Structure formats: structure tokens, C-alpha cells
Amino acid sequence: MISTQRRTRPRARSSTTCRSTEPSPRRASWSARFAAGARHDFGRFYHWKGFWYVVGGVAALAAAGIAGGVGGARYQQDQQLARQRQAGIGVVLIGGN
């Protein structure tokens, strides 16, 4: 005699493997889980009271870096031009027509 519980079970089983024939739910991909976590973390960071201080600090550092880079490049260019002028003054041509 077959028990009632066995006859009315909700999932069908394969006769050879004893596994469920219904597909198991797929796990979300790594990138989907990472994106969901990053969205959650950024939302928490955005609502933190120090958010705008951090954004302002990063902007100030970026502006200082850009200004320093431009100033340094300009200084180096001026030094190079000064060396070229000095070299041009010291050249003496001897002889020739």
C-alpha cells in the first residue's frame, strides 16, 4: 500500500536519479550581486551626514592636482626655453664665409 503522503508530493522526481525534474532557481550572477551591493552601499554613503564634506575634499584635491600639474609643466617649459636661449648666446662661429 502506498502512503498518501508519497502520492501527493508536490514535485515530480526522475526515476533514474531521484532528483527533482523542476529546475532549481538560478543564482544571480556575480556582477548582479556586486551591483546590488554597491547600490545599497552608495545609498547609505549618500545619506551619511559627512557625504558633502568628502565630495568637497575630493574636488579640492582634484583641483589642486590639476593646478599643480599645469603649473609644473609650465615651469618645466620655461626652464627648457631659458636653457635653449642660454645655449644660443654662447655659440661662437669661427671662420666661414
Q: How many percent of the chain have pLDDT more than 70?
A: 69
Report phi then psi at 20, rounded to 5. Answer: -70, 140
pLDDT at 58 over 70: yes
pLDDT of residue 71: 93
pLDDT of residue 59: 97
CA–CA gap between residue 62 and residue 50 (Å, rounded): 19
pLDDT of residue 65: 96
Most confident of 8-12, 20-24, 45-49: 45-49
Band of pLDDT at residue 92, cut at 50, 70 and 90: low
pLDDT at 37 over 60: yes
Cβ distance 21 to 12 under 8 Å?
Answer: yes
- Name the CA dihedral angle for 36, 53, 55, 66, rounded to a multiple of 10 degrees: -150
Half-sphere exposure of 38 toward its Cβ, with a 13 Å CA cutoff?
Answer: 6
